[in-house]
Chain A
Amino acid sequence: MQGFLDIFDIYLLEAVVNGILLGGVLALLALGLNLIFGVIDVTWICYAELVMIGMYGMYYMVQVFGLPYWAAAPFAILLVAALGAALHYIVIAPLLTAPPINQLLATGGVLFILQSFATVAFGIDFRNLGIRLPVLAIGEMHFSYSRLLAFIAALVGMLAVYFFMTRTYTGTAIRAISQDRQIMSLMGLDTKRIYLITSALGGALAGLAACLLVLQYDVHPFVGLSFGPITFLICVLGGLGNFVGGFIAAFVFAEIISLGGLFSDLEWGYVLAFAFFIVMMFIRPAGLFARRS
C-alpha cells in the first residue's frame, strides 16, 4: 500500500491533469485538420502554418492595434477562414482529381511560402501577446487557465462540428462528397461550393486554435514545426474523419507524453507516444476509432 502511495502522489495526479489539458490543446489543433484531411480527403500539410498566421493576426490586433482580446479573436478566425478558402481555391481545386501526393507536395510548397512570408513580413523575433491569465491552484496542484480554455474550446468545438456534420444539410453534403466526388455533382450538389465551405470551416477551426495557442506560446515563423507532425498523427490515430476518435486520440497521445515524461526523461514521453502510434498502425491501420475503411 505504501508503495502504491509513494507512486500515486499528488504530482502524478498533476501530471495526469496536465496531460488532459495538453490533450485539449492537441484536440483543438486536430479539429480543423480532421475535417479537411479526414472527411474530404484533402491534404493540407501546411495546416499548422495557417495556425501560425492566425497567431500573428492575434498578436498584431491585440499588441499593435490595441484591440481587446475578445474582439480580436473573431477577426483572427475570419482571417484564417478566408485563408483556408483561398488555399482551396488557388491550390487545391486544380489538383482535386490529381493523385493525393500532388496535393501534399503543393501544400508543402505553401508551407514554405507561409514560413518565408512570415519571416519577411513579421521578422524572426518571438512575439508574445503579453496576456498572463491567472492560475488555478488546488492544494499543491496548479493548472493553467489558458489550457483550461483550450480544453473547453476543443470540447465545444468538437461537439459543434459533430452536430454540424450529422444534423445539417451542408454537413451531410460534406460527408457525402467524401464518399464519391463524381456522383454528388450528378445528384445536383454544387460540389465547388461545398469544398469551399469545408475549407473555410477548416480554416476557421485553425483560427480558433490560433486564438487559444497564442495565450500559451510565443509566435514566430516556425512555431508550426512544434505542432504540425503531432496534429497529423492524432487525426490518423483517431480514425480519419472521426471527430470523437480524434478528440480521444489527442488525450491518449498527451497522456503518454505527460506520464512517460514524468516516469522517465521528457524525451521518452515523445518516444513512447510515437512508438504507440506505430504499433497501433500495425494493429488498427484505420485508427483507434475507424469510421470507414
Chain B
Amino acid sequence: MLGHKATRLLVGLSAAIAVLGMAVAAEAQEKKIKIGVIYDLTGPLAGGGSELQYIGAKIMLDQYAKTGVEGYKVEAVYADAQSKPDVAINEAVRLIEQEKVNMLLGFFSSAQCVPVAARVEQLKNFMWITTCISSAVLADKNFKYVFRPQASGDQFGMMTMDFIAQNAKEKFGKEPKDLRVAIIHEDGAYGVDVSKGNEAGAKKAGFNVVMKEGYSATAPDLSALVTKLKRARPDVIFHTGYNPDITLFGRQAREQGLKFAALVGHGAGYGVYEKLKEGLGGDVNYVFNTDPISIWLANQKSMDPKLPPVIKMVGEEFDKAKPGVAIRSAHVGMAASNTYLFLTDVLPRAIKKYGGVDPDALRKAALEVDIPEGGTMLGFGVKFHGEGQQMAGQNERSFPVVIQYIDDKSYVVWPKSQAQREAVLPLPKGTTFSNQ
C-alpha cells in the first residue's frame, strides 16, 4: 500500500516537473514582440490613403513575421480606427491592456495621433508613428515613448512655400511680394498644422496672402469657398485636404470657372493619384503634391545598397495586393519604409543592447538611431530630437519633396537635389484652370 502511494507520488512529481519544464521551454521559444497596428480600414480616411499605408506596413510586417528579428518572433495585431479619433483611442488602449502588445505602430490621421500619443505616453507604452504629420502631436509635449520618423506638418507647409518662392521670378515673372497666394485647408489637426507652415513660409518669402481659410472635410458644398477664391484671384493655391473634399473642391472649382497658375497639395488625398484621376479626370494634370518621396522615385544610386532590393520587394507585393495601379502611391512606401526602419534598426538594438522589447528598451534604442541621408528608402536620414527638446521624438533629418503629376506619371521637382525634372509652372495655356 505504502509502495503504491510512493509510486503515485513519484509519477505525480514527474508529471509536474515535466509540465513545468515544458512551460519554461515554451517561454523560451515564445520570445516575441507583439505589435499593435492601427490604421483606418473603414470610413472616409481609408480611401484617402490610410488603407494604402496599412498595406505598406503589412507587407513589411509579413516579411519579418517569416524570419523574426534577433530570435524574436514578430506578431502583428491589426485594428481599424474607422476614421474616428475616439475609436482610435479605444483601440489603442484595448491593444495595450487586453492584447498586451509591446508597442503600437501606424496612425494615418493627425486628429487621432494627437490624443492617442498622449494616452500611450500616459500608459508608458511605445508608439512608432509611420504617417500622421501634425506638429501638435509632439510639439512642447516632451514625450518619452512616442517617436516619428516622418516629416512634420509645418515642414510640409514650409517646403511648398519655399518651392514657389524659389520659382516666383523665373516661372511667374513676379517678385514674391507681387505673387498672390491662397491657403485653404481642412480644419482638423493635420490641415491646420500644414497651413501654419504655409503661413510661416509665405511670411518668410514675402508673398501676398490674399486668402486663408479652413473648412470641414465632410462639408457637402464648397461653392462659397470657390467663389471667394475667384474674388481673391490667387496665382497659387496651397491646399491641404483629405478625400473626397479634394475632388469636391476640384469639381466645383471647374464648374465655377476658378482660374489660377498652380495648385499645390500637401499629402493625404493628394497622394492617391488614382482617386484624383477618377474624380477630376484630366484636370489633375500638373497638380503638385508634397509628401515624403515615393520609394519608387527616390534616387537609388545615393541610397544604402541594401535598400533597392527591399523597394523592389515592396513594389511586387503591392502589385499583388492592388493590381493595375498606374502610379504606386507614396503612401505605401512611406509606411513600408518607416516600419522597415523600426524592424531593422530600433528593434535589433533594443533586443541586443537593452535586453528585450519593453517600452524602455525600445525608447533607448530609438534615441540612438543615427542614420545619415540616403539611409532610408525615403531618402532622408534619421535622428530623433531627444528628451527636453521642443519636438522630442521627431526625426530631425526628415524632409518631404514636391512632386508633380504629368500625363499619368509623377516626378520629383523640388528640392533641386532630388529633382527628376523641371516643374511645369505656371499651368499651360488651354488647361482647365489656367489663368494665362
A residues near B (Cβ < 8 Å) are: 9, 11, 14-15, 18, 21-22, 25, 116, 119, 124-128, 130, 132, 135, 137, 140-144, 146-147, 216-218, 220-222, 225-227, 230, 254, 257-262, 265-267, 269-270
User: Can you report 24 A-B residue pairs in the complex whose CB atoms are below 8 A from each other?
Assistant: A11-B231, A18-B223, A21-B223, A119-B42, A124-B46, A125-B47, A126-B243, A126-B244, A126-B247, A132-B254, A135-B254, A135-B257, A142-B255, A218-B243, A220-B44, A221-B42, A226-B219, A226-B220, A254-B221, A258-B224, A260-B224, A265-B213, A266-B214, A266-B216
Which residues 215-239 in B have Cβ within 8 Å of A in the complex?
215-216, 218-225, 227-228, 230-231
5 closest pairs, A vs B, by CB? A261-B224, A142-B257, A124-B46, A144-B255, A18-B223
Contact B252 A144 (CB under 8 A): yes
Please give the distance in Å from B185's CB to the nearest CB on chain A: 11
Contact A217 B244 (CB under 8 A): yes
Is B275's beta carbon under 8 Å from chain A?
yes
- Residues of A contacting B244 in the complex (Cβ-Cβ under 8 angstroms): 126, 217-218, 220
- Residues of B contacting A220 in the complex (Cβ-Cβ under 8 angstroms): 44, 47, 244
Count, chain B residues at interface, CB 8 A = 39
- Residues of A contacting B214 in the complex (Cβ-Cβ under 8 angstroms): 265-267
Contact A267 B278 (CB under 8 A): no
Contact A132 B227 (CB under 8 A): no
Q: A128-B279, A142-B255, A143-B255 are in contact. Are A218 and B224 (CB under 8 A)?
A: no
- Supply 18 further A-B pairs (C-beta < 8 A) apart from A14-B230, A14-B256, A220-B244: A14-B227, A125-B47, A128-B279, A130-B278, A140-B257, A146-B255, A218-B247, A220-B44, A227-B220, A254-B221, A258-B221, A260-B224, A261-B224, A261-B225, A265-B213, A265-B215, A266-B219, A269-B224
Please give the distance in Å from B211's CB to the nearest CB on chain A: 11
Is B343's beta carbon under 8 Å from chain A?
no
**A126 touches which of B41, B220, B279 (Cβ 8 Å):** B279
CA A116 to CA B82, docked complex, whole Å? 11
Is B281's beta carbon under 8 Å from chain A?
yes
Q: A217-B244, A222-B44, A267-B215 are in contact. Are A132 and B281 (CB under 8 A)?
A: yes
Contact B46 A262 (CB under 8 A): no
Please give the distance in Å from B75's CB to the nearest CB on chain A: 25
Contact B256 A15 (CB under 8 A): no
Is B43's beta carbon under 8 Å from chain A?
yes
Which residues 241-269 in B have Cβ within 8 Å of A in the complex?
243-244, 247-248, 251-252, 254-257
Please give the distance in Å from B225's CB to the nearest CB on chain A: 5
Please give the distance in Å from B268's CB to the nearest CB on chain A: 13
Contact A257 B221 (CB under 8 A): yes
The residue on A at minimum CB distance from B222 is A266
Is B199's beta carbon under 8 Å from chain A?
no
- Residues of A contacting B219 in the complex (Cβ-Cβ under 8 angstroms): 226, 266, 270
Is B51's beta carbon under 8 Å from chain A?
yes
Contact A18 B227 (CB under 8 A): yes
CA A147 to CA B231, docked complex, whole Å? 22
- Residues of B contacting A125 in the complex (Cβ-Cβ under 8 angstroms): 47, 275
Please give the distance in Å from B433's CB to the nearest CB on chain A: 12
**B187 touches which of A119, A260, A267 (Cβ 8 Å):** A267
